[in-house]
Amino acid sequence: MTSRHRSHRLAAGMAAVVLLAAAVTVWATRRTTAGRVTRVALAGATCSGPTGAAYVTDAGYQAFSAINTANCAVIQTYNVDDLSVPGDPDDVNYTGTAEGIALSGGTLWFAVTGTSNVAAIDTSTLDPSNYSPAETLVDVGLFPQALAVTPDGRQVWVADTGPQTSTSPVYGLSVINAATDKVVARMSLGGDPTDVAFSPSGARAYVTTAEGLFVYDTATRDVVATILGLGDPESLAVAPNGTTVYVTETSEGKLAAVNASTDKVTGTTTVGQLPWQAVVSPDGRKVYVADPDSDAISVVDAATGAVKRTVTVPGDPDSVALSPDGSQLWVGDNTTGSVTVLDTTNDAAVGQIDLGGTEAQSGDGLEPTGLVLTSTPTAGS
């Protein structure tokens, strides 16, 4: 785990949800053929997009916001895994933080770090008039941070980070049977895990840890390869055709490309400071990397490994997700508690969504640590 690991403080209550309909101005840094860097303003526009929904974790509030992607309207902010206050059943403690998020079919899965649970929520039952939806809680390992669902939807692999101060190897992986909501396997690791992803076929699972990238056979759950020497890896993304696995190296400020056939690093790209999450475009031609300490998104050409463009996004951006059609990149701005929406045809900002805060959060409440998008509209859209 890098020094950026956040110690979420408890929120006293839910903030009002506000939509910023005003245009935003984002700056892009472009490199000319002569090698010079130019900085130009990208015109903002009213936020609109493809039909569907976005679900964004509001980590400090132990909640997620459901957003209509067609107009960027926040429909509702729903609570997750809230505990009743002793002696006052009408009140709740926001005792955990929703970190990782995944969507499979109509089920949302959350790694609720503070309570060491994973929550499963049926999106078809969401009701904007009720901000506490029905949920199924699965007790996993200590402090789950990230999770991913196998392509067939049958299993959920969870990265259990363990306490930051622990000197014993309490971190590992938990595997949930999605049909029964039961943990069916636990695996130990040589270093605390930070992210999980699968090959398109589901035959392999990739897990980043403090030591490197571990490759698992999902059928046997055996480690089949280990790639060491990566600079404090945080996140990973798999190319749609499964040929390449991309890993963010936080301490080196680089994106590593790993050949999925040989399990060897084939190249690295210098991006911004402390690269966090990454995502690959549906056609596999571009990799978007969130660089929170540079307030930027690096757009990497997958074929050449070169940075095509650097888009400045204020607010410590650390989470990224693409719309299913690849037309928009949604960016979670950690310290401003907002989401910036970019048009991927030119990487211009087309909107910003305020998740409920009016000032920089500095760790309280609104940190959008994860987001997923779907073409299925959310309730109330």
pLDDT along the chain (381 residues), means of 10: 34 30 37 33 58 90 89 91 62 63 96 90 96 93 93 97 68 96 92 94 96 96 95 96 98 97 98 98 98 97 97 95 97 92 94 70 64 96 90
The whole-number pLDDT of residue 233 equals 96
**Coil/strand/helix, residue 118:** strand
Q: Output the pLDDT for position 359.
A: 44
∠ Cα 257 259 261 (to 5°): 165
The pLDDT value recorded for residue 73 is 92
User: Which two tokens mark 28?
Assistant: 């892009």
Residues, the chain: 381
Cα–Cα distances in angstroms (integers) from residue 75 to residues 17, 56, 189, 261, in the given order:
9, 12, 40, 43
User: Residue 60 phi/psi, 5° resolution?
Assistant: -65, -25
216-264 per-position pLDDT tens digit = 999 999 999 999 999 999 999 999 999 999 999 999 999 999 999 999 9
How far is Cα 190 from Cα 354, in angstroms, rounded to an integer? 39
* Domains of the chain and CATH, by start: 26-374 (2.130.10.10)
The residue type found at 156 is V
Q: What pLDDT score was predicted for residue 42?
A: 32
DSSP letters along 189-211, please?
-SS-EEEEEE-TTSSEEEEEESS
DSSP letter at 346 equals T
Q: How far is CA 83 from CA 125, 322, 353, in A?
A: 21, 33, 28
- Distance (Å) of CA 20 to CA 63, 322, 340, 381: 20, 20, 11, 17
